[in-house]
Amino acid sequence: MKYTLGKDEKLKSRKLIEHLFGEGKRVKSFPLQLIYLQISHDSEFPIKVGFSVPKRVVKLAVDRNRIKRMMREAYRLNKYLISENIKEPYIFMFIYTSKEEPKYADLEEIFKKVFVKFLSKIEEDGQN
């Protein structure tokens, strides 16, 4: 497993993003929220992912960008926890919901918690 987050893994399609926010399911572990949706579209990567820090929550663009960089890094290093355990392709959007800027170690632990919650939720829904 490569620890990369390439262009093809990023969620960029406006249609897919609208579809995700319209019909996606949510998993929360404060201060992180994961919106996910199973898709039928075949891709080289099983997961397409996006990251968001709302301007309403974190006012300064510098801080929003720093949090998004930390989120991308935490995802990149821990995505193996999910990609090894799912069979169908998914689209993800991670949303940061706290006003405080996180420490990277805390954010990484929260990502792991969200991944565990996601896997247990798709297991109980029988979507895997």
CATH of the domain at 16: 3.30.230.10
Is the residue at 56 inside a domain?
A: yes
Determine how many CB atoms are found less than 10 A away from the CB of residue 109: 15
Is the residue at 47 inside a domain?
A: yes
What is the CA 92 to chain-centroid distance, rounded? 5
pLDDT digits (tens, 9 = 90+) for 72-100: 999 999 999 998 888 889 999 999 999 99
Read off the pLDDT band of 1 (50, 70, 90).
low
- Answering whether pTM is above 0.85, one says yes
Residue written as token pair 């406006």: 14
Is the residue at 2 inside a domain?
A: no
Alpha helices in 1-128 (DSSP H): 14-23, 61-78, 80-83, 104-125
Q: Which residues pair with 71 in a beta bridge?
A: none
Closest among 51, 70, 56, 66 to 99, alpha carbons compared: 56
Domain that holds residue 59: 7-125
**Higher-pLDDT residue of 42, 121:** 121
Is the residue at 1 inside a domain?
A: no
Is the residue at 83 inside a domain?
A: yes
How high does pLDDT run on average in the chain?
A: 92
What is the crossing angle of helices 104-125 and 61-78, to 10°?
60
Report the number of distinct structural domains present in the chain.
1
